[in-house]
Amino acid sequence: MSERESLCAIKVGGSLLKDGKSYLEAAKNIKKFVDEGLLPIVVVSAAKGVTDALLEVTRGAAEKLGKVFDLYMGIATELGSQKVYKRVLEELELLKRITNSVIEGYDPVLQDLILSFGERISKVLMVEALEAMGVRALELNARELIITNDVHGDATIDYVTTANHLEKLVNSIISTAAVPVIEGFIGATEDGRVTTLGRGGSDYTATTIAALLRLNDVYLVTEVDGIMTADPSVIPTARIVKVMSYREAMEAALHGAKRINPKAFEPLEKFYGSVVHIGSWKLFGTKIVQAIPKEHRGPKVMMHRSLHEMPYIAIIGEGVSDTSFIKKVIDILYEQGVEIMGLQTYYYRPSIIMHVKKGSEVSTLKLLHKKVFEEVD
């Protein structure tokens, strides 16, 4: 394996980062990659709950800043480094001064700047956790490397400029053999204004880095072992989806699966088809690849949405828009006396959307999951 081939990207999700112990746990697991001869580029999210708290701060709830202060200062104290404690305190004091300028009305530029502190501080803590585990770490700055357009709150990465920045850096990363850590979710315009990439934006950061540097693997680490066939809190018999295509994963993301940002697959399709591994430190159960063989076609995920006036169930998978599968689903519903209010499917999208009567979406989801995923075994 060449030095370049040893590079991979690892995104650590905020749901895993709750206290000092969890940062050290993440660092210990990253060290396992290093011990296996890999050199991970670590993309880190804000600690759990921080982004939501900062969002409320931008809307005038200044008291929520105390929650962020307490959490991050507590983690810095747990990690035990006076240098990091002082650094985190300085960042939080700067954040406090900025939030004092929040006035009535929506200011997208100021909102993105405030939200960026969640990842900025989390990165500092992750670098310290890695050093505590004996892993030499290198702190990167997303505001200098990840260049975006000026759509605040949902920016798109400028791939050409960002690729140039990353390529200039990669040789020094390899030569120092230090694990680089960069903020997910944030970037900056060419003139230096901080932007955010939208919900799930850390996934987008990780896949962009992987695609532009032509890395073979990118790992999206969450608290669950992979993408499930349905929400396990609704369907206890839901199982892990082992393999999905980019198209399937993107479609699932559009309907809210794992809160993946749908933009995450754009750079992979445009530049380089890295394999995306989704799961926990214990098990990366789902592999997402550019294209899947014929034997892996078929339904992968079922989701329901109850927020609309007319709720719907989505079945996602390559081939589900084929006439034979649509007929199978309609036959199941007809035999069970379930009435559908509408059906949408397009040959160029791997999904079927069925609108159902309000209140019947969960029972219909359970029926379809049982018939499509369980009774075929």
Q: Last residue of a domain, which of 201, 221, 241?
A: 221
Judge whether residue 125 has pLDDT over 70: yes
In a domain, 62, yes or no: yes
pLDDT band at 333 (very low <50, low <70, confident <90, very high): very high
Q: Name the residue range of residue 312's domain.
A: 294-374
CB-based contact 209:145 (threshold 8 Å): no
Q: Is 43 helix (H, G, I), strand (E, B) or coil?
A: strand
Q: Which amino acid is at 280?
A: S
CATH of the domain at 192: 3.40.1160.10
> Sign of torsion, CA 137 141 144 149?
positive
> Sign of torsion, CA 205 207 211 213?
positive
CA distance 194 to 119: 12
Cα 178 to Cα 6, 27, 174, 212, 360: the distances in Å are 13, 13, 8, 20, 54
Q: Last residue of a domain, which of 204, 221, 238?
A: 221
pLDDT tens readout for residues 185-243: 999 999 999 999 998 899 999 999 999 999 999 999 999 999 999 999 999 999 999 99
On whether both 302 and 203 belong to a single domain, the answer is no
In a domain, 72, yes or no: yes
pLDDT tens readout for residues 276-330: 999 999 999 999 999 998 888 999 999 988 866 789 999 999 999 999 999 999 9
In a domain, 344, yes or no: yes
CA distance 148 to 86: 31
Question: What does DSSP say about strands 275-279 and 7-12: parallel, antiparallel, or unpaired?
Answer: unpaired
Q: Last residue of a domain, which of 193, 221, 249?
A: 221
Judge whether residue 175 has pLDDT over 90: no
CB-based contact 13:219 (threshold 8 Å): no
Judge whether residue 2 has pLDDT over 80: no
CA distance 43 to 142: 10
On whether both 145 and 45 belong to a single domain, the answer is yes
Closest CA to 313 of 274, 349, 341: 341
pTM of the model: 0.94
On whether both 67 and 201 belong to a single domain, the answer is yes
pLDDT tens readout for residues 25-45: 999 999 999 999 999 999 999
CATH of the domain at 318: 3.30.70.260
Judge whether residue 104 has pLDDT over 90: no
Counted domains in the chain: 2
Residue carrying the six token digits 């962009």: 208
**Other CB atoms closer than 10 Å to residue 39's CB: what's the count?**
19
Percent of the chain topping pLDDT 90: 80
CB-based contact 253:45 (threshold 8 Å): no
On whether both 201 and 300 belong to a single domain, the answer is no
Query: Which pLDDT belongs to residue 278?
Result: 95
What does the block give as tokens for 253? 């993301």
CA distance 158 to 238: 38
Name the most confidently modeled range: 144-158, 164-178, 243-257: 144-158
